[in-house]
Structure 1
Amino acid sequence: MTMSGLDDLDREILYMLQGEARHTSSTDIAESLDVSASTVRNRIQRLEGDGVLRGYHADVDYESAGYQLFTLIVCTAPIPEREELAIAAAEVSGVVEVQEVMTGESNVLVRAIGEDGDDLSRIGEELDELGLQVQDEDLIRNTHRTPYAGFDQQ
């Protein structure tokens, strides 16, 4: 399903779920949008079935959980192998997210959690063994997210 396949109600539901899915019930959404809760539940099921809504993820504050080293590892992969290497990188212990980038030389972004410097070194070495060339490593202090405003029709 593409954006052109979404109507205003779909976009509003997505907007509200992006803000705080865990504490937003179908009844809350329905009341806000002046529709029935069953309509919202049906829409959410359809959005999930169509692959538009792919999951609900915990937003973990790694520092509060005792993991001080939340790291962005910037890598380069040969373009024909980029997807395969990104999938393999996601299996490395300590890696929590991998993004494929479509432009530039640095085309794989790996977010990893390390307990100490040795742990980060191990992760970098494992990525290298897979065939990813590590370009840069940056410690992340905070991540700030917001719902995509294009979904908000109100």
Structure 2
Amino acid sequence: MTGNLDSTDWAILGELQRDGRLALTELGRRVNLSASAVTERVKRLESDGVITGYRADVDLGKLGYAVLAVVRLKYPGNRHEPLHALLAERGEVLECLRTTGEDCYTLKVAATSMAHLEKVVNDLTAFGSTTTNIVYTETLPYRGPSLPTSAG
């Protein structure tokens, strides 16, 4: 898909990743397009599935989630549906990645306390062994991809 994106598309993506609420007129100004041209490009990026949604980034601490952890799960079986059902129920699991290597899944978990985190991890141990790392700080929060060096 990246072959279909030009440097203007990448610039639009960069601006929207920094501020998904950016007015289309301001977005157009920042990428040197008219409001109608930038609107057309954004709609195309959405319909092509490049832009999959918009969201608000929130401060977990201000919402009462004082503990952030990365939990790695070794899942011994090949029936993953029960785990997927648990993940759908547990709002504390912010992200889950299926990975290669020794662990099968890497999860980002927000908890209100260490006791809360322990409960979440205990629920996950029904599916396999876990390793939990507490996050001190988010040194680099998710930022999305940037303009490839070959696209500009």
Asked if 2 retains the 8 angstrom alpha-carbon contact of 1:15 and 1:151, the reply is: no
Post-superposition Cα deviations, 1:50-73, rounded to whole Å, max 9, x if no partner, equal 211111122122123332111111
Task: Say whether residues 1:142 and 2:138 are aligned partners.
Answer: yes
Partner of 2:119: 122
CA RMSD in angstroms, aligned pairs only: 2.6
Shift in Å, 1:27: 0.8
Which of 78, 102, 105 in structure 2 is aligned with 1:105?
Answer: 102
Task: Say whether residues 1:60 and 2:89 are aligned partners.
Answer: no
Name stretches of at least 5 consecutive residues in structure 2 with no aligned partner. Answer: none
- Percent of counterpart pairs with the same letter? 27
Q: CA, structure 1 residues 86+31, in 2 after alignment: closer, same or farther (shift >3 Å)?
A: same
Partner of 2:19: 20
Question: Normalised by the size of structure 2, how large is the TM-score?
Answer: 0.81
Shift in Å, 1:105: 1.2
Asked if 1 retains the 8 angstrom alpha-carbon contact of 2:24 and 2:39, the reply is: yes
Q: Secondary structure at the match of 1:64?
A: helix
Partner of 2:29: 31
Partner Cα separation in structure 2 for residue 147 and residue 119 of structure 1 = 30
Task: Give, as a single letter, the amino acid of the residue that structure 2 aligns with 1:137.
Answer: N
Shift in Å, 1:123: 0.6
Task: Give, as a single letter, the amino acid of the residue that structure 2 aligns with 1:112.
Answer: V
Shift in Å, 1:30: 0.8
Asked if 2 retains the 8 angstrom alpha-carbon contact of 1:30 and 1:37, the reply is: yes
Q: How many residues align?
A: 150
